[in-house]
Amino acid sequence: MNEQKKKKREKENGAKKHMGLCSSSPVRPGVPESVNGIDGSLLTPEFASKYKCTKKEPLGQGSFATVWQVEDVKDKKEWAVKVIDKSKCSKEELKDILWEAEALKIVQHDYVTKMKEFIDGDHFIYIVMEIMRGGELFDRIVERGFYSEAMARDAVRTMCIGLDHCHKNGVIHLDMKPENVLYADTSEESALKLCDFGIAKRCPPDGFLLGDGQLHGTPGYISPEMIRKEKYDGKTDVWAIGVITYILLGGVPPFDEPPDLVDTPEGQLEL
């Protein structure tokens, strides 16, 4: 009798393994690992009732987040979803993620990437965003070498309108650069939108943030007032737009980066 039970159990485990449902790694209750190559986080009830994955390979992957292409089960429209594994995030990282989602709700605009939905599940956080298929502004600069004055004018105008909306709603981006500006599609007339509000900060439209001694942003785009540890406001984003404008027209950054000290206040002052 025991031998029969043993054989039955082995047969069941073999079937589960074949389906991708069995593994030596621990499985959290209610969270399947994978089915047919699809990550188990996309199969949890809170997400699977609204969306289904349309590609087996992720669009991108980081230390605690993976981006997938999904389809709304109701209207069949495609979206990108960033799936964040809570178990791999610190409390501070989770706090930043929640603020980024809040910021995206605040700054909804035609020139800002749209967040469709935010789902805070037991084990995962889902941020459903529009798919931007045209790539980064950075990639087009590399491809072209530089922009004509007319093209640069249109791109800068779009960025400024988007930023102005953010600032009027009390949000400073703090990481404006060509990598954080995306094209909706590959056409020449494609819409251009701001993205990545991961280090954005809340600031009253007519107020300032006190310098905390930290450099917020990417070397080469950080404003002088932040480097000097002075109070700053939305104009720090405008400085970054000036750097982007220079790159669009000239094809090269306006400043040479000191190789060793670039990530320190001293290096930024030299820059």
CA distance 146 to 137: 11
Instruction: Show Cβ contacts of residue 27 under 8 Å, excluding neighbours closer than 6 positions.
Output: 33
- 175 noted as active-site residue: yes
Alpha-carbon distance of 244 to 181, in angstroms, equals 10
Please count the other Cβ atoms lying within 10 Å of the Cβ belonging to residue 194.
Answer: 23
Instruction: Give exposure, 216-241, as e/b (b: 16+ Cβ within 10 Å).
Output: bbbbbbbbebbbeeeebbbebbbbbb
Whose structure tokens read 């709700």?
A: 105
Active-site residue, selected from the candidate residues 85, 120, 164, 175: 175
Which tokens hold the place of 216? 């917020």
Token readout for 162 is 């988007």
Strands (E), the chain: 34-35, 38-39, 51-53, 60-61, 65-72, 78-85, 115-120, 124-129, 135-136, 171-172, 181-183, 192-194, 201-202
Catalytic site positions: 175
